[in-house]
Amino acid sequence: MIIIGLDPGLTCTGWGVIAKAGSRLSHVANGQIRTDITQSMAERLVQLDRVLTDVILAHNPDSGAVEEVFVNVNPQSTLKLGQARGVAMVALARAGMPVAEYPSKVVKKALVGTGGAAKQQVQAMVKVLLPGVHLAGEDAADALAVAITHANMLGSHR
């Protein structure tokens, strides 16, 4: 089974693709999509959709998961994050796959054992769980963490 995880953001969306065979997980690919901040909101969302669609077509995942929005102190930032998250969910759903959502605390707890884990701890566990992975950046590491969480949740539902 191929699983894609997404860490949505308007400025940078992380993506990570893993393969699950039984209880074994392996890294397939990861990356970050940076939008052009000089473009309008609509153009940035189209750019995000276009690149996500290309990633989905390239890796043909069976299932996808997206990190849930957390509420920022700045309502404008929360709104922009929500719009990027909506584009991410539509891109996955349009490809015909089921889409799961996980709060950041659940992802951190699944990987590190505590919902309050630091980003560096999450990255370290991603590297342990996917030996040899070269992370494209923090957002890509978070996306792989979402994919790993989803892979483990799929196993627990069966």
Catalytic-residue membership of 67: yes
- Greatest Cα pair distance, the chain, in angstroms, is 46
What is the DSSP code (8-state) at residue 116? T
How far is 31 from 17, CA to CA, in rounded Å? 9
CA atoms within 13 A on the CB side of 59: 26
Q: How far, in Å, are 49, 70, 106, 120 from residue 96 at the CA level?
A: 15, 26, 25, 33
Catalytic-residue membership of 139: yes
The residue whose two tokens read 């890294």 is 27
Angle (CA) 106-110-115 rounded to 5° is 50
Catalytic residue among 43, 49, 54, 67: 67
Torsion angles phi and psi, residue 50, rounded to 5? -60, -45
Catalytic-residue membership of 62: no
Catalytic residue among 43, 54, 138, 139: 139
Catalytic residue among 7, 49, 54, 101: 7
Instruction: Please give the positions annotated as active site.
Output: 7, 67, 139
